[in-house]
Chain A
């Protein structure tokens, strides 16, 4: 999308962007967008430090989905130093997927591929906005 670049790089104040084209047939575009948002945000070392500080200081008070995600990511980060770049992207993606898989237990009856729920998206995106202090698109 043409708007991707100017929002991410040129807008003042800067806007945090989560973007994904939807290749035909992809199941969960919302998860892909949230994953891309985190990858772009945490590509900045300062953002990663901010996130780690929030995790260490407010672990008990974090929203459940956000806490589970950051917990998983922190475990991976301990093994992947530094967290930036391709390895970081994989760790973020796997942590989010783990979160979505966990929601499967809440479903009744039907056996279906889990998706990122609205409530989880809210719990994941809200803290980014708060910590980064930036608009999100």
Chain B
């Protein structure tokens, strides 16, 4: 697995590798090799794992190219002299060529890159490329990006903002959103002008250092383009998250990746909240509960269409985080926002279903919090929701579960009259919906208990 440092949620990944390391006997003929850039959190985690599992994990630091062997030196020199782009090396002694490369493969990559063809024509240019390689600078790319205009600039900005498009599967999913409202030739033009790598089908700036350089340049010199494209991409990706299955993963991942851009460019509470909510789809906690609440309020005020799923799912997940942290004030505010969202999206069954889920979870919690009055109010709310939407099986299921749990509680509370009333209500529900297996199953569990 290469570029491990670019995987989101590295802690979760580290825990997965711990599972492997705890059971080495099950993986005796299997080796896991991770490539990560030195100097970041990923490298730090790997060093920690090495200390935690001595003999199970080995960290090997990649040094310079090993050119001590004369044969290897000659092989490299011959390769460089055979490159038509590197005529400028013709009269340069071998020793000077070795000195210029300095054991760093990045120099060779830069000398032979398509976009460096012009610069590499003269020795001064080669020396400049050496300097750039060592500083991770791409002056030729910067020049190309500086001269871009119109749809080419927009597309370059979108690709820089969503580096996930470099994966073929993800590109297939995201392509319609990335190319919307752009000249259909814009992608080919970026490849032909060497802004993007023409050797691959997907849009890619090439090496990760080149991609980082492109993003950094656009962020510094084309701020408005980056801002405008982020403002377009965030709601477009959020509207594409309409379920939690394989088809939605790419949209959610891309949206999550725009979180820092939304914060850095101060794009507003809703774009930031949408990115934060996407994080919750991957089990992560949002940076702040307030951000999720403010974003939802903004969506409701501006009557944004098509965002029901991501907002409801994000609120529901954040509500669970708030409860897990025992932050009941925020939990209750988040539930209120879920209610308000359902009122704003009255025809969106998904929003309603997640509201029912939030009400049901809170009903369970109120018993543990010994707030029985609130538990009963929440059950009434579930009943009302089910009455208003008699064909919504998910709402009915949450309401039936609410009845079931309250019935169990009342039994423990020795309130037998109420227990019988709730049991009658469950029987009545089963009679009204004879095909509802979930309700029947709950009754069966009661009779068997």
Q: Which residues of A contact B (CB under 8 A)?
A: 1, 3, 19-27, 29-30, 33, 93-94, 97, 100-101, 104, 109-113, 118, 122, 125-126, 129, 134-137
Contacts and interface: CB of A to CB of B under 8 A. Distances in A.
Given A21-B1, A118-B19, 14 more contacts: A1-B2, A21-B2, A21-B3, A23-B166, A24-B163, A25-B164, A26-B6, A29-B4, A30-B16, A94-B246, A101-B245, A111-B316, A113-B281, A122-B26
A109 B354 CA distance: 11
28 contacts: A3-B33, A20-B1, A22-B1, A22-B2, A23-B6, A23-B166, A23-B170, A24-B164, A25-B6, A25-B253, A25-B254, A26-B6, A26-B7, A27-B249, A29-B1, A29-B7, A93-B169, A110-B283, A112-B244, A112-B283, A113-B282, A113-B283, A118-B16, A129-B29, A134-B29, A135-B29, A135-B31, A136-B30
B281 A97 contact: no
Interface residues of B, number: 44
A25 B249 contact: no
A111 B244 contact: yes
Contacts of B280: 110, 112
A93 to B, nearest CB: 7
Interface string B48-84: 0000000000000000000000000000000000000
Contacts of B244: 104, 111-113
Interface of B: 1-4, 6-8, 13, 16, 19-20, 26, 29-33, 35, 163-164, 166-167, 169-170, 244-246, 248-249, 252-254, 256-257, 280-283, 313, 316-317, 320, 354, 361
B13 A29 contact: yes
A1 B35 contact: yes
A101 to B, nearest CB: 6
A79 B282 CA distance: 34
Nearest to B62: A2
The 4 closest A-B pairs by CB, nearest first: A25-B257, A118-B19, A24-B6, A97-B246
Contacts of A100: 246
B31 A136 contact: yes
Given A104-B244, A111-B316, A27 B31 contact: no
Given A125-B30, A137-B31, A26 B167 contact: yes
A49 to B, nearest CB: 22
A20 B7 CA distance: 12
B257 A24 contact: yes
B316 A23 contact: no
Given A26-B167, A29-B13, A137-B30, A112 B1 contact: no
Contacts of A136: 29-31
Contacts, number: 106
A66 B35 CA distance: 28
A22 B4 contact: yes
B33 to A, nearest CB: 6
Nearest to A93: B169
Contacts of A129: 29-30
B317 A19 contact: no
A23 B283 contact: no
B320 A110 contact: yes
A129 B26 CA distance: 11
B311 to A, nearest CB: 12
B51 to A, nearest CB: 22
A134 B252 CA distance: 37
A109 B320 contact: yes
B253 A27 contact: yes
A134 B31 CA distance: 12
Contacts of A24: 3, 6, 163-164, 257
Contact of A25 (B2, B8, B248): B8
Contacts of B31: 135-137
A65 to B, nearest CB: 14
A23 B8 contact: no
A101 B246 contact: yes
Most buried by B among A19, A24, A33, A125: A24
A39 to B, nearest CB: 12
A93 B94 CA distance: 49
A94 B167 CA distance: 16
Given A1-B2, A26-B167, A111 B313 contact: yes
Most buried by A among B3, B256, B317: B3
Contact of A23 (B33, B164, B256): B164
Nearest to A104: B244
Contacts of B33: 1, 3, 137
Given A1-B2, A118-B16, A113 B252 contact: yes
A27 B9 CA distance: 9
Given A1-B2, A113-B244, A26 B19 contact: no
Contacts of B256: 25
A134 B28 CA distance: 11
A26 B162 CA distance: 11
A26 B164 contact: yes
